[in-house]
Amino acid sequence: MHAKPSSDAAVIDDVEVTTLLEDGERAVAGDALAPPRTLRWRKWKRDLVWAGLIGLVVWSIDRLDIPLDRLPGILGRMGETLMTRYFPPDIARITQRDYLGSVFETLEMAYLATVVGIVLAIPLAWFASANMSPSKRILYPLSRLAIMACRSVHEMIWTILAVSILGFGMLPGVLALTLFCVGFAGKLFAEAIEAIDQGPVDAMRATGANPLQTFVYAVLPQVRVAWTGTSIYTWDVVFRAATVVGFFGAGGMGWYLRESMQRIASQEVAAIILSIIIVVLIAELFSSWLRGRIARAIA
Amino acid sequence: MTAATLEPSSALDRRIDAIARERRTTRRSRLASLAVALALVLGTVYAIVIKDTDWARLTWQSVATSLARFAEFDTSALPGLVDPAIDTALMATLASFLGLFLALPVAWLGARNITPLGRASYVFGRGLMTLSRSVHEIVWALIFVSAVGLGVLAGILAMAVRSVGFISKVIAEAIEDVQPGPIEAIRAVGGTKFQILWYGIVPQVLPVVLGTVIFEWDINIRRSTIMGLVGAGGLGLVLFREMARSNYGGIATVLAAVLALIIVGEFVSHYARKAII
């Protein structure tokens, strides 16, 4: 039945080979000992998937009309633009009082949005957890949808919407970042609840505790550590977003970025982008340090 | 009482005292951090809600009227959104693929067990990952506009570069966790470094890599809505056009289309990931 014998190991009659092997060895050999027809089919299927993906890429490039001719030498051109227009960064601009104030504003927005967002995310995550939700029919789907809607809209779109409703300033920034935070932390919080040990919950329920008591005494102690870590990480992510919400009219460093860009003050733009990268890196280091410290303190 | 019975009880007392003291300090430090957190909340509320906000112009009526403008849903625009929605999905696809290709060398540098030049290249690889994640996609987009001009290309490059950090981090961690067996087997029969990489490591990490790229694809759909800022096409461009025209009903319609696309994308990525794993 088989094609003429060749050096290919797969062409050896699989029945004979597999009967010679122990269970464990067969599991290890796995794929290589599958019947040749299956192997050929698998290879063909894999080639088909690759061809499909390459076709998709080619078709997308054509459909989106992407100017590929601009790609060669992109690094050189970027380097040249950076050197001639953006270099040297205008460090004096970012040490001015108003700009340093905006860094402080960014911190304030991120802090308030994270606190409010987490306070909102806690009940939502409780309602949206598959195992602990107090009302499976109504609250569970509604809170799931709320968290998903918060997540699916990009934080900058939230900013644009908030600015169009509340006007320029820090308040719309806080509103947008809060919604972002609810979506981000809510999902992670709910996942933490879904991973808890059911034992304490059953024990609480057996004593006749209501859902709130069960949540406070059986769920909260179990997720406290995970939630603390998630909250700090959320602050870090929210701060990263807060540095740019100003670009669309909310407060903070992004506002100055936009303002310098509109004046085509490229060296100021370079300095501001540089300062954004630096503060975000500092925030990230701080958050991972804090998370490590808290994990060690609790363990 | 004799001294022999007195001493153990005083030792016990000391221990009880120590525990009580520790509890007091824990409670005190917990109260103190709570007080600090609360004071910071009050401070930021004062700075943002009271000092920075112009309540004379911002009233309940003004908020209600601006909210109402979004409610004028512009359903006539819906058929015209199908093409941009496809464009958006394709942009996210291209950006995810490009992100994967850029992420491979970074993961190679940043995986502790296969990094080529020891500690130096490891730190460099990890630094690239952090840089990619730390810079917001808006900033990346603005940087790429200076190199390739406004348009789709700048948006795709920005999303791709922003994706690199996460994809390469996951790949590097998967590479650090590979089973050493196959690698030792290839080395034992005299395989080259490239053969070890291609036949020993790639098959082991491929499912993780594909799962991550699909996850990132989902996120890139969200990101592409914001790339309209740099003139990248798709729903993002339509959105920015509607905003420039202050057509609030149109904005709401486009956002609904984005939400629908993301729900579809979540289904696709859910099933695609299931098919792989």
Three-state SS string across chain A, please? CCCCCCCCHHHCCHHHHHHCCCHHHHHHHHHHHCCHHHHHHHHHHHHHHHHHHHHHHHHHHHHCCCCHHHCCCHHHHHHHHHHHHHCCCCHHHHCCHHHHHHHHHHHHHHHHHHHHHHHHHHHHHHHCCCCCCCCCCCHHHHHHHHHHHHHHCCHHHHHHHHHHHHCCEHHHHHHHHHHHHHHHHHHHHHHHHHCCCHHHHHHHHHCCCCHHHHHHHHHHHHHHHHHHHHHHHHHHHHHHHHHHHHHHCECCHHHHHHHHHHCCCHHHHHHHHHHHHHHHHHHHHHHHHHHHHHHHHHC
B100 shares its domain with B232 = yes
Determine if the peptide bond prior to A88 is cis (ω within 30°). yes
Q: What is the pLDDT of residue A214?
A: 92
Residue B69 lies in a domain: no
Residue identified by tokens 């036949």 is: B199
State yes or no: pLDDT of A46 exceeds 50: yes
B58 shares its domain with B158 = no
Q: What does the pLDDT look like over A178-234, one tens digit per residue?
A: 999 999 999 999 989 998 999 999 999 999 999 999 999 999 999 988 899 899 999
Which range of residues forms the domain containing residue B244? 80-276
Residue among A165, A237, A268 with most chain B CBs within 10 A, to mutate: A165
Residue B200 lies in a domain: yes
- Alpha-carbon Rg for chain A, nearest whole angstrom, is 28
B139 shares its domain with B38 = no
Nearest to A154 among B49, B151, B226 (CB): B226
List the CATH code of the domain at A91-298. 1.10.3720.10
Cβ contacts of A158 within 8 Å, gap of 6 or more: A175, A176, A177, A179, A180
Please state the domain extents for chain A: 9-63, 91-298
Nearest to A167 among B58, B87, B243 (CB): B58
Residue B3 lies in a domain: no
Q: What is the pLDDT of residue B6?
A: 54
Residue B68 lies in a domain: no
B26 shares its domain with B111 = no
Q: Residue A11: pLDDT band by 50, 70, 90 thresholds?
A: very low
- CB of A245 within 8 Å of any CB in chain B? no
Instruction: Count Cβ atoms below 10 Å from residue A123 Cβ, excluding itself.
Output: 15
**Backbone φ, ψ for residue A250 (5° rounding):** -85, 175
Q: What is the pLDDT of residue A200?
A: 92
Q: What is the pLDDT of residue B162?
A: 93
Report residue B262 as tokens: 């993301």
Gap between the Cα atoms of A190 and A219, Å rounded: 11
Q: What is the pLDDT of residue A31?
A: 54
Gap between the Cα atoms of A40 and A34, Å rounded: 10
Alpha carbon of residue B158 to chain centroid: 14
State yes or no: pLDDT of A276 exceeds 70: yes
- Count structural domains, chain B: 2
Gap between the Cα atoms of B92 and B90, Å rounded: 5
Q: Judged by CB atoms within 8 Å, which residues 170-209 of B form the interface with A?
A: none
Residue B144 lies in a domain: yes
C-alpha closest to that of B254 among B224, B231, B220: B224
**A108:B48 CB<8 A:** yes
B92 shares its domain with B185 = yes
Q: What is the pLDDT of residue A64?
A: 83
Q: List C-alpha distances in Å: B170 to A187, B137, B176, B193, B208.
A: 20, 19, 10, 22, 8
B237 shares its domain with B125 = yes
B124 shares its domain with B193 = yes
Weakest-pLDDT range from A158-162, A254-258, B55-59 = B55-59
Alpha carbon of residue A294 to chain centroid: 22
Gap between the Cα atoms of B202 and B182, Å rounded: 11
State yes or no: pLDDT of A21 exceeds 60: no
Q: What is the pLDDT of residue B157?
A: 92
Q: What is the pLDDT of residue B277?
A: 64
- CB of B260 within 8 Å of any CB in chain A? no
Q: What is the pLDDT of residue A264?
A: 83
Alpha-carbon torsion (A121, A127, A128, A133), positive or negative:
positive
B181 shares its domain with B59 = no
Q: What does the pLDDT look like over A76-133, one tens digit per residue?
A: 877 887 788 777 888 887 888 888 889 999 999 999 999 999 999 999 999 999 888 8
Neighbouring-strand partners of residue A169:
A250
Whether B96 and B88 have beta carbons less than 8 Å apart is answered as no
Residue B71 lies in a domain: no
CA of B275 to nearest chain A CA: how many angstroms apart?
A: 13
**Backbone φ, ψ for residue A169 (5° rounding):** 130, -170
Q: What is the pLDDT of residue A143?
A: 93
**A109:B45 CB<8 A:** no
Q: What is the pLDDT of residue A23?
A: 46
Residue B205 belongs to a domain with what CATH number? 1.10.3720.10
B107 shares its domain with B199 = yes
Q: Judged by CB atoms within 8 Å, which residues 74-93 of A form the interface with B?
A: 74, 77-78, 81-82, 85-86
Whether A163 and A250 have beta carbons less than 8 Å apart is answered as yes
Percent of residues, chain A, with pLDDT higher than 90: 31
Residue B1 lies in a domain: no
State yes or no: pLDDT of A150 exceeds 50: yes
Largest CA distance in chain A: 84
**A112:B41 CB<8 A:** yes
B230 shares its domain with B107 = yes
B95 shares its domain with B31 = no
B137-148 and B152-176 helices, crossing angle to 10°? 130
Q: What is the pLDDT of residue B103?
A: 93
B36 shares its domain with B144 = no
Q: What does the pLDDT look like over B89-141, one tens digit per residue?
A: 899 999 999 999 999 999 989 888 888 888 889 999 988 998 888 888 888 88
Q: What is the pLDDT of residue A9?
A: 39
Q: What is the pLDDT of residue A15?
A: 41
A133: left (phi over 0), alpha (psi -120 to 50) or beta: beta
Report residue A14 as tokens: 């699989």
The mean of the pLDDT values for chain A is 83
Residue B72 lies in a domain: no
Q: What is the pLDDT of residue B59?
A: 78
In the predicted model, residues of chain B with pLDDT beneath 50 are 1
Q: What is the pLDDT of residue A32?
A: 58
